[in-house]
Structure formats: structure tokens, C-alpha cells
Amino acid sequence: MKDCIDCAIRSRAVQTLTPEEFNIHRENCAELELEAGESIFKEGQLSSHIAYLKSGLAKIHKKGIKGTDQILKIVKPSHYIGLQTILLNKVHQYSSSVIEKSVVCYVDIHSFKDLITRNANFANELILHMCEDEMSYFNRFVNVHQKQINGRLADSILFFFDEIAHSNKFVIPLSRADIAALICSTRESVIRSLKDLIDMGAIKVQGKHFEVINKELLISISNKG
């Protein structure tokens, strides 16, 4: 457990707090290391804390009416998880778990609400955070429902390339079934589509290790859908 005062990965919202407000924040949060697969919180649980992903990667997922787990989005570091429950519900409407070793900071929801009331700049940063998240989700929703599987898979590979790894060689810490749940497809279709992208010369794949060979071709596949 590290003291908040030593943390170099503070959110933009926390940076707006006065010294007195920051002390309230640090007294009501705790840092936790989670291993891949461990839960941040579960759908249906009472929402007692807001989570802030300091390092690693997490997924937000929700059960459908048939019991199938749908991955709604991948969360990268420096993002809050569970903000929607502050005003909307007392119960989490989705689950979140880490997909690789991660560090999560849990903040007591009551002190978090108190800071929103006290500090307009803090509240504004949280609103901006939620707006950015929502617009990103809108774009992903349209792409998932209007693109063919090769385009959807190309989008996900480019996401890890551009926003996570910043390198042409990287690991996607998801099983083929999880990738299918992310792009609204089946495991078998994902395997076939990966082979298509490999045969086109866009990527190389070895298990969960990916290498982008031709980014322009991958972008073209994504754009054509």
C-alpha cells in the first residue's frame, strides 16, 4: 500500500483537489494489486467504492439474457471504473475484472460524492471523463454492428497497437473466446478471421503475441469494414 501523496498516476480530477480535500481522498482510498482474472467488482454487487485503474488492463463485461458474457470495453490505465453508479444505482450494472496483473485504487463512494459536492473542478473533470468514455463507446457500438468480422477484428488489433502497446509487437491478453466476446462474434469466426489477416500479410500471430506487419493494410481493412 502506497500513500496517495507519493502517487505519480493521479487522475486529472484528483489534481484539482485542495490540500484539505486531498487529505479526505487519501484517507478514504486503498490500493490493491490484482492478478489476471481477478474481479474488480461484480454485476449485482452493492456499489461501495469507485475503482481507478493505475496500471495494467481491465475489461468491463455484462451477462446477456442467455447468460453469455459480453465484453463491453477494454479499460486502460488512468481510467475510473464504476462512475455511473454514483448517481444512477446503488448496485453495479456490469462486472469488471483485470486481464493482466494490475494495480487498482478503490475510493469510498461516500467520500467521492462529498468531493464532487465540494469541488466544481473535480466534478467537471469527472463529467469530461464520462463524456469521453461515452463517445468512445458510441463509436465502438456503431463499428461492431456495421462492420464485417475482419473489420471489427482489425479495429481491436489497432486499438492494442495504438492505444496500449505503442509498438508493432505486443500481447493481447485475451483468449480467442474473449476476443469474440469483445467484437460480437464467435470463437471459430475469430480464428478464421485471424488466418485471413495473416494470409493477407497484415499481421503475424503466435498465441497471444501479435505483430503488425502492414499497418496501412490493417487500417484499410478497418475502414472498409
Residues 36-47: pLDDT tens digits? Answer: 999 999 998 888
- CATH architecture, range 147-224: Orthogonal Bundle (1.10)
Q: What is the pLDDT of residue 134?
A: 86
Fold match between 4-143 and 147-224?
A: no
Average pLDDT over residues 179-205: 95
The pTM (predicted TM-score) of the whole model is 0.89
| DSSP string covering the chain | ---GGG-S---TTGGG--HHHHHHHHHTEEEEEE-TT-EEE-TTSB--EEEEEEES-EEEEEE-TTSPEEEEEEE-SSEEE-GGGTTS-SB-SSEEEESSSEEEEEEEHHHHHHHHHH-HHHHHHHHHHHHHHHHHHHHHHHHHHHS-HHHHHHHHHHHIIIIII-SSEEE--S-HHHHHHHTTS-HHHHHHHHHHHHHTTSEEEETTEEEES-HHHHHHHHHH-
What is 4-143's CATH number, 2.60.120.10, 3.30.230.10, 3.30.70.20, 1.10.150.130?
2.60.120.10
pLDDT class of 2 with cuts at 50, 70, 90: low
The domain ranges of the chain are: 4-143, 147-224
